[in-house]
Amino acid sequence: MEILVASGVGAMTAAGVYLVLRARSFPVIVGLAMLSYAVNVFLFATGRIAINLPPVISKDAVAYSDPLPQALVLTAIVIAFGMTAVVVVLALRAYLESGDDAVDIGADDTESGQPGESDGLGESAGTGR
Amino acid sequence: MSLALIVLLPFLGALLPGLMIRAGRNACAVATGSVTLLALILLLAEAPAVFAGEVIQARWEWLPQLGLNVTFFLDGLGLLFATLILGIGLLIIIYARFYLSRRDPMGQFYSYLLLFQGAMVGIVLSDNILLLLIFWELTSLSSFLLIGYWKHLPEGRQGARMALAVTGSGGLAMIAGMLILGQIAGSYDLSVILQHGAEIQASPWYAPALLLILVGCFTKSAQFPFHFWLPHAMAAPTPVSAYLHSATMVKAGLFLLARLWPALAGTEWWFYLVATTGLFTMVMAAWIALFKDDLKGLLAFSTVSHLALVTFLFGLGTPMGVVAGLFHIINHACFKAALFMTAGIVDHEVGTRDVKRLGGLMALMPITGTLASLAALSMAGVPLLNGFLTKEMMLHEALRTEWLGNPWIIGLAAGVGALFSVAYSLRYVVHVFFGPKRDDYPSKPHDPPFGLYLPPLILVIPVVLIGLFPEAVAGQVVAVTAQAALKGPLPDYYLAIWHGFNLTLVVSLVALAGGALLLWRHAAANRLRLAVPRPEAKRIFEALVRTLVSISNRATDVLHNGSLRRYMAVLIATSTIAGAIAFWGATHGPGARPLTHASPVVILAWAVLIGACVTIVLAHHNRLLTLVIVGVVGVLVSLGFVYMSAPDLALTQISVEVVTVILLLLALNFLPKESPRESGAPRRARDGLIAGLSGLGVGALIFAVMTRDVSSISAFHLENSKPGGGGTNVVNVILVDFRGFDTYGEIIVLAIAALAIFALLDGALRGPAARRLQSWIPDQERARDRHPMMLVVATRVMLPLSLLVGVYIFLRGHNEPGGGFIAGLVVAIALLMQYMASGYGWAERRMKLDYHFVTGVGVLFAGFTGVGAWVASRPFLTSDFEYFTLPILGELGLATTLIFDVGVFLTVVGSVLVALANLSRLARSTEEPVSEAPMDVNPAALDQEAR
C-alpha cells in the first residue's frame, strides 16, 4: 500500500512538473493542478496510512487515523481550487489581451513565431522588454 | 523625556506645514517656525544643567536583544550642534518664507525641512549608535528630498541623486564600521564605547572599523575624494544650501569625528588618514573655489575647504586641535550661513549669481553688501572678525606638526590653503559688490525686504562680537563643548585676538597679502589653471554609474530573460538537487513501520492512476482530453481518500473536482483547443529528466515518511475534540475550532481570489481584449440543442434535493463527515447546474443574490464569530457550545463554531459563483445569441401546435 501511494505521488509529481515546463499556458495550469493533487496526497500521507479508521469519535472505534494532516489538506484542496481558478482566468485574460498563450516573454515571440523555443539554458536570449 | 521630545517635535511638526499651507504662506511659516522654536526652547532649558557639567540622559528599551535601544544624551557637544541645527533652522525658515516664490509648494518644503531637522537633531543627541545610524540614513533621505525640491530642474534631480548615491553608500560603509566598533566595545551605547578607547585601538579590527567609519564621515562632509556631490547639490533652493551646507548635514560627519574622537583618535592611522585628507581637501577645494563663477559654486567649494580645515584639526589628534576645530565649527556656521543667504539675496534681486555679470552692487544694495562683506572678510580671516581667530589657531597647530618626519610641509600647505581662502573670499566681495556699476543687470537691483536680510543680519552679529571679544562671548561654550568631546582635561589655551608677534601671525599676514595679490592677477591664475588637466569628478562619477547600470542590465538580461519556463526549470532542478545532496549527505536506516496490505482493487486503481499520468503527458496537446484525464485523476484521489479513512477529504475533493473542471471548461471555450508541438527532442528529454527525477525524489521522500513511526500533536486533538470543541468529527473541529484562525485566513484568501477573478475578467470587457472578444468566432461546432430538455427538467427537480443535501451536510459537519467547506461546494454545484442547464440569462433573473455580497458577508460572519469571543472576554475565535433537547429532533449540540462555519459556507458559495458569473459575462459579451428561454424546445408550444 505504501509503495502504491508513494509511486502514485511520484507519478503525479512527474506529470505535473513535465506539464508545468510546457510552453503554453493551458498545459501549465493543468500541470499545476496535477502538482496540487500530488502535494495534497503527500501531506495527507504524512499522517501515515490507516484503513477504516476515520477520525470521528465513537465508542466502537479501536483507533483513529491522524486528523491533523486531513484538516490541513482539506483547506489546501479548497485553496488549490482558488489558485487554479485565478491562474486560469489570468491565462485567459493574457490570451485575450495578446492573442497568444505562450508562457515565455521575450523577443522570440515576435521574431521567429516560435515562442519559448530559444530559451534553452545557457543560451542568452535577447530581450524584447 | 524632554530630550526625546526635542527629537520628536520636528518629526511630528512635519505634518503641520502640509495642513497649514491651506491657511496661507504666512500661517505655514509661522507654524513651522513655532515647532522649531519650541524645540529650541526645550533644548535651551537644559543648557544651564549642561553648562554645570551634567549629562542629561533619556532611555527606553526597544530591541534590547540586539543592543538597540532608544537612548538619548545631551552633553556640551550635543548641545552645541543641536543649538546650531535648531537656531539656524529657525532663521532658514524665516528666510525661506520670503525666498520661495508663490509657485513653489511651500508646505512640502517646510515638511521636508522639518524631517531633515528632526533627523539631524536625532544624530547629535543619540547615545545608541544603531539609533544614530537610523537618523544618519534619514538625513540622507530627507536631504535628497530637499536638494531635489525643484523637481522641474534636471540639475536639481541629478544633484539630489548624486548626493543620495554618495552619502547613502557612505552610510552603508558607516553601518559596517559602527557594527564592528560595537562588537569591539561590547556595547552599542556611545557612553560605553567612549570609555573603551584603548581597548578599541588595540583591537585588530580597529583599522577596518576606522576606515569604514571615515568613509561614512568623509562622504557626508564632502571630503576628497567624495567632495564632488556638494557643489552639484547647489541646484537646491538657496535656503536649503544655506541650511544643509553651512550648519547641518555636512557637519554631521564632523560631529561624528568629534564624538568618536576619544575612542578612535590619537593613532598613526587616524593622523595620516584624517589629517592628510583634511589638509589636501582644504587646499584643493580652496583653489577650485577661486575660479567658480557661480556664487553658490564658489561658496560650495569654500565650504568643502572649511570642512576640510576642521577635519584636519580633528585629525591632528591633539586636544588643542579639537578645541580649535569645534571653535571653527561655530564660526563657520555663522559666516557661511550668512554668505549663502546673501548669495540668495543677490540671485533673488539681481536675477543672476554669475560673478562675471555682477559688480558694483554696493551702492545699489548697501545693506546686503555690508553683511556679505563682513561675513566674507571673516571667512578670509581678517582680524577683528571671528574667522581670524580660528585660522590663527589652525596655522599655529599646523606649523608645529611633522608629517612623515618633515617639519614644514604641513605648515606650508596650511599657509597656501589660507592664501587661496583669502583670495576667493575677497573675490566674493570685490567682484560682486565693488567695481563700476553696470547697466546690464537682468533686473533692477535693490535691497530685499526686511524678512530676507534679517536672518543674515542676526548671523553677522556673532561674527563681529566673537571677533572682538572671543573669550567673553564664546569662551565658555567652546570650553564646555571641548570638554564633552575630549572626555578629558582641557588643554591650556586662551581665546584672544593678540598672541604676540610670532610665526603664525607672519604666515597669516603673508596669506592675506598673497591672497589679495592672487585676486589682482586672477585672470593670469585662471590661465594657469586651464593649462593643467583637471579630472572632472562629475563625469567620472557618471561613467561609474553608467558602467554599473550596464553591468546589472546585462546580468538581468542573462538571468531574467523573460522565459518563465527556464526559471521554472532552474527552480525545480535546483530544489531536486538540493534534496539529493541533503539525502546523500546523511546516513539513513530502513523504515521500521510494517507495510499495509494492498487489495487487488487498490492495485487496479493505482494502475489507472499511473496510466492517467502517462496519458496526460503524452496527450497534453489535446486540451479537452487533458481535462478529462484531470477529472479521472481527481476522482481516483477522492477514492483514495475514502479508502484511507479520510471521508471529509474525499467529499471535498470530489466536489472541488466538479467545480474545477467546469471552470477550466468555461475558460477553454475561449482558448485554443490544441497546444502546438513546438518543443524539440532535446528540450523534451531535458524536461522529462527534470520531471522524472523530481517525481522520484518526492515519491521516495513520502515513502520514507510513511515507513517510519511518528508521534504528533494529533493525540491532543483527538482527546479534546468532544470535551473541548463539542464535536465528534475531529477534522471539522480542528478546522472551525482548534485551527479556526487558519481557516479564517483561508476563507479570506478564497474571497480575495474571487475578487481577483472579478477584476481580471471585468478588465477584459474593455480595451484590446474586448475587441478580440467581439470579433471572436467559435472554433467548434455548437450543439443544436444547447439547453436540452432532459437536463433542464432533471436539474430543476434536483435543485431542492441538492440544496437539502447541502444543508444536511452542513448541519452534521461537526459530528459526522461534512461541514461548511463541503456544503458550500455542494450548494455551489447545485446552482452551477442551473446555469449550465437553463442558460445564464434565465438563471440570473431568478437568482436575486449578489455573489460578491455573499462572499463578503461570509467573511464578516466568520470574523464576527471570532470577535464575539471578545464580548465574553476570551481570545479571538474561542468557541462555546451547549446541548439542547428539542421535541422531535432529540438532543442537539449547538456550538458557536456553527456560526463560524456558516461564514465558511457563504464564502465558498460566493467565491465559486463569482468566478462562474464573470466567466459567463465574458461569454455574453461575444455577441453570441443568448437563449432567453429556459429550453430550446418549448413543450407547451409543441403541444399547442399539435392541437
What is the rounded CA–CA span in Å between residue B94 and residue B367? 18
Q: Is B729 helix (H, G, I), strand (E, B) or coil?
A: strand
Residue B769: inside a domain, yes or no? yes
E-state strands within chain A: none
Closest CA to B396 of B305, B457, B464, B324: B324
The amino acid occupying position B212 is L
> What pLDDT was estimated at residue B801?
93
Question: Cβ–Cβ of B557/A83 closer than 8 Å?
Answer: no
Task: Calculate how close chain B gets to A68, using CA atoms only, in Å.
Answer: 6
Instruction: Say yes or no: B512 and B655 in one domain.
Output: no
Residues of chain A found within 8 Å of residue B566, distances taken between Cβ atoms: 104, 119-121
The range of the structural domain enclosing residue B328 comes to 265-546
Beta-bridge partner residues of B893 = B883
Name the residue of chain B whose CA is nearest to A57's CA. Answer: B728
| Whether A124 and B561 lie within 8 Å, measured CB to CB | yes
Q: Span A19-28, mean pLDDT?
A: 91
Distance (Å, whole) CA B915 – CA A81 = 11
Of the candidates B391, B373, B487, which has an alpha carbon nearest to the alpha carbon of residue B428?
B373
Residues B349 and B475 reside in one and the same domain: yes
Q: Are both B344 and B483 inside the same structural domain?
A: yes
Element (DSSP H or E) covering residue A109: helix A108-111
Domain endpoint, select from B642, B659, B674: B674
What the block records as the C-alpha cell of B476 is 565658555
How high is the pLDDT of residue A108? 45
* Torsion from C-alpha of B221, B227, B228, B233, nearest 10 degrees: 20
For B656, which of A47, A77, A117 is closest by C-beta distance?
Answer: A77
| Domain match, B417 and B530 both | yes
Within a domain: B134:
no
Q: What is the mean pLDDT of residues A117-122?
A: 38
At A61, list the grid cell. 472505534
Give the per-residue pLDDT at A65.
86
Same domain, B339 and B421: yes
Q: Which residues of A fall within a CB distance of 8 Å from B644?
A: 5, 44, 49-51, 65
What crossing angle do the helices spanning A67-98 and B714-725 adopt, rounded to 10°?
A: 100
B89 lies in a domain? no
How far is A61 from chain B, CA to nearest CA, in Å?
Answer: 12
DSSP assignment string, B600-653: HHHHHHHHHHHHHHHHHHHTTTBHHHHHHHHHHHHHHHHHHHHHTT-HHHHHHH
All residues at 6 or more sequence positions from B280 whose CB lies less than 8 Å from its CB, including other chains: B224, B308, B413
Nearest-by-CA chain A residue for B905: A78
- Cα distances from B618 to residues B608, B615, B622, B626, B913, in angstroms, run 15, 5, 10, 10, 33
Q: Which chain A residues are within 8 Å of B673, Cβ to Cβ?
A: none
Residue B213 near residue B256 (C-beta atoms within 8 A)? yes
Asked if the structure places residue B194 within a domain, the reply is no
Q: Do residues B530 and B636 share a domain? A: no
CB-CB neighbors (< 8 A) of A19 in chain B: 616-617, 620
Residue of A nearest to B733 (CA): A71
Q: Are A50 and B815 an interchain contact pair (Cβ–Cβ within 8 Å)? A: no
The pLDDT of residue B885? 64
The grid coordinates listed for B737 are 475550532
Buried b (16+ CB within 10 A) or exposed e, B88-99: bbbbbbbbbbbb
Please check whether residue B467 lies inside any domain of the structure.
yes
On whether both B542 and B609 belong to a single domain, the answer is no
Provide the number of structural domains found in chain B.
3
Please, are residues B107 and B28 in contact by the beta-carbon 8 Å criterion?
A: yes
Q: Which domains does chain A have, with CATH numbers?
A: 2-51+65-103 (1.10.287)
Q: CA-to-CA distance for B14 and B146, rounded, in angstroms? A: 13
Residue numbers in B near A24 (CB within 8 A): 672, 675-676
Residues B819 and B933 in one domain: yes
Residue B50 resides in a domain? no
Kindly report, residue by residue over B631-673, the tens digit of the pLDDT.
999 999 999 999 998 999 999 999 999 999 988 988 888 888 8
- Tell me what ipTM this predicted complex has: 0.84
Q: How high is the pLDDT of residue B929?
A: 58
Maximum Cα–Cα distance across chain B: 137
| Residues sharing a CB contact under 8 Å with residue B887, sequence separation 6 or more, in sequence order | none
For residue B627, the chain A residues in CB contact (below 8 A) are 30
Distance from CA of B819 to the nearest CA of A (A): 11
What is d(CA B882, CA B460) in angstroms, rounded to the nearest whole number?
Answer: 83
B314 plus B386 within the same structural domain? yes
- Whether B642 and B756 share a structural domain: no
Q: From B546, B564, B584, give the residue that closes a domain.
A: B546
What whole-number distance in Å separates Cα of residue B206 and Cα of residue B265?
11
Q: Are residues B310 and B376 in the same domain?
A: yes
Going by the DSSP 8-state scheme, the letter that residue B594 receives in this structure is P
CB contacts, 8 Å: A89 with chain B: 667, 756-757, 760-761, 915, 918-919
Chain CA centroid to CA B521, Å? 52
pLDDT at A109 over 60: no
- Identify the three-state secondary structure at position B487: coil
CB distance A2–B564 less than 8 Å?
no
Domain end point (choices B647, B674, B701): B674
Domain assignment of residue B627, yes or no:
yes
Which stretches of chain B score pLDDT less than 70?
1, 877, 880-894, 927-947
Contacts of B227 (CB under 8 A, 6+ apart): B281, B284, B285, B304, B537
In angstroms, the CA B261 to CA B197 distance is 9
Neighbours of B708 (CB within 10 A): 13
Q: Is residue B565 part of a domain?
A: no
Domain shared by B475 and B342, yes or no: yes
CA distance B787 to chain A (A): 25
Residue A117 has a pLDDT of 39
Q: Which residue has the cell 466538479?
A: B658
Cα–Cα distance for residue pair B508/B441, rounded to 1 Å? 36
Q: B543 to each of B148, B218, B537, B614, how far by Cα in Å?
A: 21, 21, 10, 57
B390: number of Cβ within 10 Å: 28
